[in-house]
Amino acid sequence: RRADIAAIGPGGEIWMVEIKSGVPDFRSDSKWPEYIPFCDRFWFAVDHDFPQDLIPEEAGLIVADAFGAAVIRDAPAEKLSPARRKAVTLRLARLAAMRLSAAADAGWTASEAALTSSGL
């Protein structure tokens, strides 16, 4: 599973944002509660026409339009355990390094990375 946006905040906290394109997208998504144990703060980002009362209280709310976005309701803070924080931080760092490497290296593919990293 993966959230639409995962980030490491200024204090090392893990933030996740799930973007919903509309009510049908929100109602058909049953996986978002699985993200909450892996982050310190969790938000939904929706369009300005989205009915805001559908967003559960255990999530923050970001409303966006073509010109920008605003945090309407801050996400409740739930501190991760140190072991989980380390695991999630390392996973995000590895993913970011792989994506940066893929963008920088001509001809690089994910299958090549799997072949070369298996010998470590």
Distance CA 93, CA 73 (A): 28
**In sequence order, what are the beta bridge partners of 43?**
17, 60
- Domain with 8, as residue range(s), is 1-106
Predicted TM-score (pTM) of this structure: 0.79
Residue type at 106 in one-letter notation: A
**Domain assignment present for 111:** no
Q: Is the pLDDT of residue 66 over 70?
A: yes
**Domain assignment present for 23:** yes
Counting the structural domains of the chain, the total is 1
Q: Average pLDDT, stretch 53-58? A: 94
Distance CA 24, CA 89 (A): 32
Q: What are phi and psi of 61, to 5 degrees?
A: -135, 125
- C-beta separation of 70 from 62 below 8 A: yes
- C-beta separation of 48 from 64 below 8 A: yes
**Domain assignment present for 96:** yes
**Domain assignment present for 119:** no
**Domain assignment present for 118:** no
What's the mean pLDDT when you consider all of the chain? 88
**Domain assignment present for 47:** yes
Q: Average pLDDT, stretch 24-29? A: 94
Q: What are phi and psi of 29, to 5 degrees?
A: -90, 110
**Domain assignment present for 116:** no
Distance CA 85, CA 79 (A): 9
Confidence band, pLDDT 50/70/90 cuts, at residue 120: very low
